[in-house]
Amino acid sequence: MADKPMAQQAAQAVPSGGAVRRASLSVHIMRFRELGLLGFVVLLALLVQWRNPSFLTLENINDLLRNAAILSILALGMMLVIVTRGIDLSIGATLALSGMITALTVSANPGMHPMAALLLGTAIGLACGSLLGWFVARLGILPIIATLGMMNVFRGLTFTISGGKWVSAHQMPDSFTGIATGSILGINTLIFIAIVAYAVFHYFVNHTRTGRQIYAVGSNPEAAVISGIPKERLLWLVYAIMGALSGLCGVLWVAKFASAQGDTAMGYELTVIAACVLGGVSIAGGVGKVSGVLVGSLLIGMLNNALPLLNVSPFWQTAIQGGIILLAVLANVWVKRSVDRNHLLRRRI
Amino acid sequence: MKRRLILMLMFLLSISLLAAACGGNNNSGNTGNSGASGTEGNSSGQAEAKDDTPKKHAIIFKNAGNPYGEKMIEGFREAMAELGHEVIAKAPDQPTAEAQIQIIEELIAQKVDSIAIAANDSDALEPALKKAMDRGIKVLSLDSAVNANSRLVHVNQADPERIGRTLIQAIHEMIGGEGQIAILSATSQATNQNIWIEWMKKELENPVYANIELVKVAYGDDLRDKSVSETEGLLKSYPDLKGIIAPTTVGIAAAGKVLTDKGLKGQVQLTGLGLPSEMAEYIESGVCQWMYLWNPIDVGYLAAYAADALVKGDITGAVGETFKAGRLGEKSIVRDGEDGTQIMLGDPFRFDQSNIAEWKNVY
């Protein structure tokens, strides 16, 4: 709020005319760091719309959001993990495990309330995440190694529990698949859950002591410990949250596709990490915003939705996807750099 | 610091042990009764002599924990039980050629009499399989073929031509003979799907289908999320679309789900190749009136009889030879491509509302 008048002052104080113009331009940009990315999203949307007019229809936007909902929820948890300088490669496996156990439970008890299924999945994910958090926080195992190991353990468990079999649509009651097709207040349940998750995370990250402490641990672990921040407990918490979200998404995934396979979401963790990095979360830790992650997830969701609409050769699709992600990151970095330059400008005065 | 390092090492060790244990479970199969090998000796010299002593027949599938593969192995075991032979069933944890090569080496060391393999790569297995054949082991492929140099014969689950043509005939009947259709395939590199699609296109050249237009071949990569996005893309890009053919299990189920969610039952028809358990919901609801698949039990069963005939010397894998395949009756060896030979299982099997209930619990 206080940014704007201060920045205007700064702009006026700069002597040369050219600099004034550049600075005031940056002032507007500065109000939203992820503007570069957002601009890119809008540009891409217009481009796709020009190629295929059915892109910006209500139905397609609904489909897009529905497909991106799970990714965006996972990206929130991943953001916290990356902010603490960690990484979680096990989320795809956790998602599959929770989805498989929930699907088996639901097919055995068709009368189960959908809410109970969601809670069960979240609890399984929480257990997986807590175990991981314990490994990382207490035993001090490098996150990449701990999560890589547990990824295989969870994936193996999924196969063992299911006996290699799939749980198919005809084994799931309508109330369960209804989780993904139903709506709350006129909004699809998946999208609704994502919105709630973003609201809660926005508050948690920006307005609670624990939320701020997570960033402190990420940007300078030593200083955080010296100033009395319980680093171990926070690390554990971060992985537990990630696990719980993966568990929740496992149920959503299975309900959405009406099928639970052993290899559900294999490799999905990389997409989630990509969404985070796109959204400006720094792998080096300490940096990451909820709004950025949202835009990053939306961009990936948009690519997945738009590429089938454009008549491009399947051989080109992945290359185009990679190229666009790279361009988006470049655009974002460029905008951020000009923002930082503006910050430096202000500091001198 | 030291303690932490030791803990880390311990953890890694336990993980690798766990992984090994898991792998062991999946791979174990039926390896008992190994004492018999001593009396048999190397069968290469006496392969022509017809003896009825129990033999060791191995089957390798693409990866462990695949219900389709398990049914195939089940059929293989069933036939071998009828013939009174021993079965060694193996499958790697990951669907890679490297893992299969390792298994082949193990089987060569165990001196099995035949190896039936569903290959993860048609060319990469050639050195290993050639080595096996040099040692007198009869090699055949099933489901997913290896190249003609590395096998004696291939057991083809279904005639690609019959599949391609049948699917077009089915969609033609469903949409009433005219309108736009699209194909939702697996990956753009999938050998099986590409051959079937080629045959579909050939069938479409028939003037009977003059009013049917194939608008797009989309690739869902056998991933749920991508198959859903591709189906949604098809429906939006071609609002007049009348039918979708999905010759892949994940694709057809994903398309069935999208059509169900969007309430397009009756407006957009769906057929293809799918697993009965996955498709039961959509066949029963009428979103997909009927679809096809071969019977994996029969694929394994036929491969077992072919393996037995090869070991006994009844067939050598040359075109024109015939043999008896238990309940499947007389089968003959036909040409496959330029220099290979194969045995065809027959027409794909049709699943519709009348029989889906009994099949949905099978596989």
For every residue of B288-329, DSSP letters joined together read S-EEEE--HHHHHHHHHHHHHHHHHTS--S-TT-EEE-GGG-
Query: Are A311 and B216 inside 8 Å of each other by CB?
Result: yes
The model's pLDDT over A87-146, given as tens digits with 9 standing for 90+, comes to 999 999 999 999 999 999 999 998 899 999 999 999 999 999 999 999 999 998 999 999
Structure confidence at residue A28 (pLDDT) = 56
Residue A140, SS3 per DSSP: coil
Say which amino acid occupies B24. Answer: G
Confidence of residue A72 (pLDDT cuts 50, 70, 90): very high
Structure confidence at residue B2 (pLDDT) = 60
Minimum Cα–Cα distance from A262: chain B residue: B65
Say which amino acid occupies B167. Answer: L
Asked whether residue B354 carries a pLDDT value surpassing 50, the answer given is yes
Q: What is the DSSP letter of B158?
A: S
Q: How far is CA B196 from the centre of its chain?
A: 14
Contact A172, A100 (CB under 8 A): no
Q: How far is A162 from chain B (nearest CA, A)?
A: 9
- The CATH architecture annotation of domain B45-158+296-346 reads 3-Layer(aba) Sandwich (3.40)
Instruction: Please give the average per-residue pLDDT across A143-162, as a whole number.
Output: 93
Asked whether residue B316 carries a pLDDT value surpassing 60, the answer given is yes
Instruction: Please give the average per-residue pLDDT across B118-122, as a whole number.
Output: 85
Query: Are A146 and B11 inside 8 Å of each other by CB?
Result: yes
| Delimiting residues of CATH 3.40.50.2300 domain(s) in chain B | 45-158+296-346, 160-293
C-alpha separations of A85 from A115, A150, A290 in Å: 34, 18, 17
C-alpha separations of A13 from A23, A342, A343, B352 in Å: 10, 13, 14, 78
Query: Are B219 and A314 inside 8 Å of each other by CB?
Result: yes
Confidence of residue A166 (pLDDT cuts 50, 70, 90): confident
Asked whether residue A171 carries a pLDDT value surpassing 60, the answer given is yes
- In sequence order, the β-bridge partners of residue B16 are none
Residue B180, SS3 per DSSP: strand
CA A108 to CA B62: how far, in whole Å?
Answer: 30
Portion 179-198 of A in contact with B at CB < 8 A:
181
If one compares B25 and A318, the residue with the highest pLDDT of the two is A318
Portion 68-127 of A in contact with B at CB < 8 A:
none
Testing the interface with A: which of B1, B228, B231 to mutate, by most A Cβ within 10 A?
B228
CA B292 to CA B160: how far, in whole Å?
Answer: 13
Contact A133, A236 (CB under 8 A): yes
The model's pLDDT over A18-70, given as tens digits with 9 standing for 90+, comes to 444 555 555 555 555 677 788 888 888 998 899 888 888 888 999 999 999 99
Of A164, A169, A308, the CB nearest to B278: A169
Partners of residue A257 in chain B, C-beta under 8 Å: 224-225, 228, 254, 257
Query: Are B236 and A60 inside 8 Å of each other by CB?
Result: yes
Partners of residue A315 in chain B, C-beta under 8 Å: 188
Query: Are B65 and A164 inside 8 Å of each other by CB?
Result: yes
Instruction: Please give the average per-residue pLDDT across B205-212, as a whole number.
Output: 91
Strands B322-324 and B330-336: antiparallel
- What CATH code would you report for B160-293? 3.40.50.2300
Instruction: Please give the average per-residue pLDDT across B73-81, as a whole number.
Output: 91
Structure confidence at residue A18 (pLDDT) = 47
Q: How far is CA A227 from the centre of its chain?
A: 30
Tokens 């017809």 belong to residue? B50
Residue B171, SS3 per DSSP: helix
Structure confidence at residue B159 (pLDDT) = 80
The model's pLDDT over A238-294, given as tens digits with 9 standing for 90+, comes to 999 999 999 999 999 999 999 998 888 888 999 999 999 888 888 888 888 899 999
Of A168, A258, A308, the CB nearest to B233: A308
Count how many Cα atoms sit within 13 Å of the Cα of residue B208 in the half-sphere of its side chain.
12
Asked whether residue B116 carries a pLDDT value surpassing 50, the answer given is yes
Partners of residue B18 in chain A, C-beta under 8 Å: 152-153, 156
CA A148 to CA A342: how far, in whole Å?
Answer: 41
Contact B71, B363 (CB under 8 A): yes
Asked whether residue B265 carries a pLDDT value surpassing 60, the answer given is yes
Q: How far is A182 from chain B (nearest CA, A)?
A: 10
C-alpha separations of B74 from B78, B146, B304 in Å: 6, 22, 11
Q: How far is A291 from chain B (nearest CA, A)?
A: 24
Instruction: Please give the average per-residue pLDDT across B183-205, as a whole number.
Output: 89
If one compares B3 and B138, the residue with the highest pLDDT of the two is B138
CA B300 to CA B79: how far, in whole Å?
Answer: 8
Asked whether residue A157 carries a pLDDT value surpassing 90, the answer given is yes
CA B297 to CA B309: how far, in whole Å?
Answer: 19
Residue B344, SS3 per DSSP: strand
| Mean pLDDT (chain A, rounded) | 86
Structure confidence at residue A153 (pLDDT) = 95
3-state SS of chain A: helix, strand, coil percent to 5? 75, 0, 20
Q: How far is A189 from chain B (nearest CA, A)?
A: 14
Q: How far is A153 from chain B (nearest CA, A)?
A: 7
pTM of the model: 0.75
- In sequence order, the β-bridge partners of residue B342 are B154, B334
ipTM over 0.90: no
Minimum Cα–Cα distance from B260: chain A residue: A181
Q: What is the DSSP letter of B273?
A: B
Contact A23, A345 (CB under 8 A): yes
* Tokens describing residue B188: 């753009």
C-alpha separations of B317 from B44, B139, B150, B151, B325 in Å: 16, 10, 12, 9, 15
- In sequence order, the β-bridge partners of residue B244 are B182, B270
Q: H-helix or E-strand containing B242?
A: strand B241-246
Instruction: Please give the average per-residue pLDDT across B249-268, as a whole number.
Output: 92
Minimum Cα–Cα distance from A150: chain B residue: B15
Partners of residue B19 in chain A, C-beta under 8 Å: 152, 156
Contact B326, B301 (CB under 8 A): yes
Asked whether residue B311 carries a pLDDT value surpassing 60, the answer given is yes
Q: Which of A239-248, A298-307, B72-81 has the highest mean pLDDT?
A: A239-248
A67 interfaces chain B, CB cutoff of 8 Å: yes
Testing the interface with B: which of A154, A162, A257 to mutate, by most B Cβ within 10 A?
A257
Helices (H), chain B: 2-27, 36-40, 67-83, 97-109, 126-134, 160-174, 191-204, 224-237, 249-261, 276-285, 296-312, 356-359
Structure confidence at residue B331 (pLDDT) = 86
Query: Are B281 and A168 inside 8 Å of each other by CB?
Result: yes
Asked whether residue B220 carries a pLDDT value surpassing 60, the answer given is yes
First to last CA, chain A: 20
pLDDT above 70 coverage of chain A, percent: 89
Structure confidence at residue B23 (pLDDT) = 43
Could you tell me the maximum CA-CA distance found in chain B, to the nearest angstrom?
78
Minimum Cα–Cα distance from B188: chain A residue: A314
* CATH among 3.30.70, 3.10.20, 2.60.40, 1.10.3470 for A34-348: 1.10.3470
Report the candidate in A194, A224, A204 with the shortest Cα–Cα distance to residue A285: A224
| Mean pLDDT (chain B, rounded) | 83
Confidence of residue B15 (pLDDT cuts 50, 70, 90): low
> What are the residue ranges spanned by the domains of chain A?
34-348
Query: Are B232 and A149 inside 8 Å of each other by CB?
Result: no
Confidence of residue B12 (pLDDT cuts 50, 70, 90): low
Asked whether residue B34 carries a pLDDT value surpassing 50, the answer given is no
Minimum Cα–Cα distance from A152: chain B residue: B19
The model's pLDDT over B282-301, given as tens digits with 9 standing for 90+, comes to 999 999 999 998 888 888 99
Confidence of residue B14 (pLDDT cuts 50, 70, 90): low
Asked whether residue B19 carries a pLDDT value surpassing 60, the answer given is no
Partners of residue A67 in chain B, C-beta under 8 Å: 225, 228-229
Query: Are A168 and B253 inside 8 Å of each other by CB?
Result: yes
Q: What is the DSSP letter of A349?
A: -
Q: How far is A306 from chain B (nearest CA, A)?
A: 8
* Tokens describing residue A310: 């454009």
Contact A107, A120 (CB under 8 A): no
Q: How far is CA A257 from the centre of its chain?
A: 20
The CA-based angle B336-B338-B343, given to 5 degrees, is: 15
